Amino acid sequence: MRKTPLHRRLETLQFLEPSDWTILDGLLTREEQANEGELIVLENQEINRTRIIHNGWAHRYKSFQDGRRQIINLMLPGDIVGFYAVMRNRSDYGVEALTPLEMSIFPAADLIDALSQAPRLMLALSWIASQSERILDEQITRIGRRNATERMAHLFVELFLRLRKAGIEENEACVLPMTQSVLADTLGMSHVHANRSFKSLSRDGGASLAQGKILLKDIDLLAMRAKFDASYLEQTSLPKPTLKAVQENEPFD
Amino acid sequence: MRKTPLHRRLETLQFLEPSDWTILDGLLTREEQANEGELIVLENQEINRTRIIHNGWAHRYKSFQDGRRQIINLMLPGDIVGFYAVMRNRSDYGVEALTPLEMSIFPAADLIDALSQAPRLMLALSWIASQSERILDEQITRIGRRNATERMAHLFVELFLRLRKAGIEENEACVLPMTQSVLADTLGMSHVHANRSFKSLSRDGGASLAQGKILLKDIDLLAMRAKFDASYLEQTSLPKPTLKAVQENEPFD
DNA sequence: CGCAGATTTGAGATCTGTCAAGGGATGTGG
DNA sequence: CCACATCCCTTGACAGATCTCAAATCTGCG
């Protein structure tokens, strides 16, 4: 099995044993592709598949009857789509490809089987799940308590760092394949205001537009404008007590 | 072991076997109390305990150096605090008691042990975790794409329904133990504007104030003002394929 | 009573949204 | 190669929502 961004994220844990990798790779046998703009998951539709993104971007969104749309999270290589799919009979969100996508796909129930067999894998994938949850936390904080430019700069820095962690090269991580409307729906603002905020960032030299793509030019500058604190994304290893706990029970202090 | 709100939530699944309940109760042996205003979890501090709320309210928040604060989620009876604590060495958020609290507390690593022993329990608690994630999704959508009054009405209805699912009686579920400043920090607005929005809801008879508590008076009315769609909270049972999958492997169609 | 914290209100400043229109790039068909 | 359509970006003007500041009122409590 080739090394996917998910592999790279999990490798940094230095925690899984060969048998765990084998079980993981057992899940990643079937591939799926999608075209730009394709809907991978439909809102309010049954879901029973889990996907791992190997290449390309997608977004997870909710839409209103009156046309409003909120993008909840951007899904990057190494992210899991429908981790909890087996626990729910309907999807409360949609997922749409922002670029052509390469993914693995498997029945969500297989995940449960794999995790019951391999506690370390369970821990490792829960670690991924916990990261997604922290990213949602930060999205809430960003939208709730930051103004438009801060919000945008903050998102840019987050995306850059997430891409790096998935093993995407720095120069590739600086190109965001999204329109300003997508940006607006992610940040909870109008596309007109998103444009004004973006212009403000590009005037400073933090970002620019090239071939219809957003280019991040000065991450440090963006981080400063966003008052960025990276701690919610940092995690190089599982804490020691955890590592022990998978082998043997730990006494309660 | 007495029947806690968590028990009641899990019971509705009609899915756990006696042995699972035993393992769960094994986790819930040690109790912890907290006073109103007490900090249960400190921001940027080590965490290695998981808590189950049995009684009372708390909130999970992030704060900025300049004093801004965003409440990410309100934690109610039956909710789990620090489900992923074992996977991270530091907490990215704080948790503060909004009322006196009764909780169970145990080392986060014990959760892993319990879940490795009991796949059905793993599934059941993941189901709880997936609900929290959907609630975060909705919080993002609420803050990102709803105006102030819609936001507030929407939160009120969500809280009412969450409390009901945790087995809290309807009349008790209509009393929210939070100030308008807490409400404002939850909804990402200023406390002044929160007050104006609240007044607008109370003028219509949807809510009112009594003894410093927010009283929900007409849930249907609030739901209408919020254009509330309850699907993200609904889930009476696990889908059939899942139930099967825990016993035996399921063929991939 | 008097304090501390919570709610309420007004006024003005600021931010953000809406509407409307123009410009630029890209792709398609003639 | 041009005409045209489409999608995206950009801008201005104005309306509306929300924030900030400041002060008044209210409430529970010692």
pLDDT in tens, B198-214: 999 999 999 999 888 99
Mean of the pLDDT values across residues B67-83?
Answer: 97
What is the value of pTM for the model shown? 0.93
Q: Which positions ≥6 away from B20 have C-beta within 8 Å?
A: B118, B120, B121, B124
- Strand C bases contacted by the protein (CB, 7 Å): 5-11, 15-20, 25-26
Q: Is A209 helix (H, G, I), strand (E, B) or coil?
A: strand
Percent pLDDT > 90 in chain B is: 75
- Mean pLDDT of all residues in chain B? 91
Cβ–Cβ of B129/A134 closer than 8 Å? no
Q: pLDDT-based confidence at A201, cuts 50/70/90? A: very high
User: Does A190 contact B at CB distance below 8 Å?
Assistant: no
- The one-letter code for the residue type at A170 is E
Distances (CA, A) of B180 to B139, B184, B188: 17, 6, 12
Q: Give me the CA A37–C1' C20 separation in Å, rounded.
A: 28
The pair of three-digit structure tokens given for residue B212, joined into one six-digit string: 């410093």
pLDDT digits (tens, 9 = 90+) for A133-167: 999 999 999 999 999 999 999 999 999 999 998 88
Contact assessment for residue B165 and residue B7, using Cβ atoms and an 8 Å cutoff: no
State whether residue A115 sits within 8 Å of chain B by CB.
yes
Chain A contact for B250 (CB, 8 A cutoff): yes
DSSP code of residue B230: G
pLDDT reading at A123 higher than 70: yes
- Does the CB of B152 sit below 7 A from strand D? no
d(CA B110, CA B49): 9
d(CA A195, CA A202): 10
Residues of chain A above pLDDT 70, percent = 92
Residue-wise pLDDT tens digits, A220-241: 999 999 988 877 777 656 665 5
- H-state helical runs in chain B: 5-11, 18-27, 108-117, 119-145, 148-165, 170-173, 180-187, 191-203, 219-226, 240-247
pLDDT at A170: 81
pLDDT range class, residue A173, cuts 50, 70, 90: confident
Among A15, A69, A75, A88, the strongest candidate for a mutation testing the B interface, having the largest count of B CBs within 10 A, is A88
pLDDT at A240: 57
Length of chain A equals 253
Contact between chains at A70 and B252 (C-beta distance less than 8 A): no
Please indicate if any CB of chain A lies within 8 Å of the CB of B224.
no
- Convert B184-215 to b/e letters by CB count within 10 Å (16 or more is b): bbbbbbeeeebeebbebbeebebbeeeeeebe
Asked whether strand D has any atom less than 7 Å from the CB of B69, the reply is no
Q: For residue range B97-129, list pLDDT tens digits in order.
A: 999 999 999 999 999 899 999 999 999 999 999
Token pair in block for residue B13: 């699944």
